[in-house]
Copies of this chain bind each other. A is one copy, B any other.
Amino acid sequence: MRYQEKAKFDANGLLTAIAQDWKTGKVLMCAFMNQEALEKTVQTGVMTYWSRSRKKLWIKGETSGHTQKVREMRFDCDGDALLCKVEQTGGACHEGWESCFAYKIQGETIVAEEKKLFDPGQVYQKQD
């Protein structure tokens, strides 16, 4: 089966893409791909998402230099989610964390538990 046939895009033409550090197994971020982003990612080996806010293709790290090189891509059983093992340069999160999943639920509250890798003000001219 060609990989495009396995992909099941939702009503907005998107599927969920999870980026995981290929070495440490740390889950770095969760965003979206449309068909073009998926094909670009497969062709170039560089994680390319669809930005819902900016309504355009988003080559991760284009502004920040914090790119994600693809090591492995896997669809889930129903084809609406993609797990991408990546080699992350710098931090994945535009807030400066290594992983976007920095906000731990502790009891009934949220605790930011990660140590920032970088200062977003110094890295971004605009949000990546």
Contact = CB atoms under 8 A, between A and B. Distances in A.
Interface residues of A, number: 39
B73 A100 contact: no
Contact of A103 (B75, B101, B105, B113): B75
A89 B70 CA distance: 30
A73 B110 CA distance: 10
Contacts of A5: 110
B25 A110 contact: no
B25 A105 contact: no
How many copies of this chain does one complex carry?
Answer: 2
Given A30-B76, A95-B77, A3 B42 contact: no
A83 B101 contact: yes
Interface in A79-108: 79, 81, 83, 93-95, 97, 100-105, 108
Interface of A: 1-3, 5-6, 16, 18, 20, 24-27, 29-30, 42, 72-79, 81, 83, 93-95, 97, 100-105, 108-110, 113
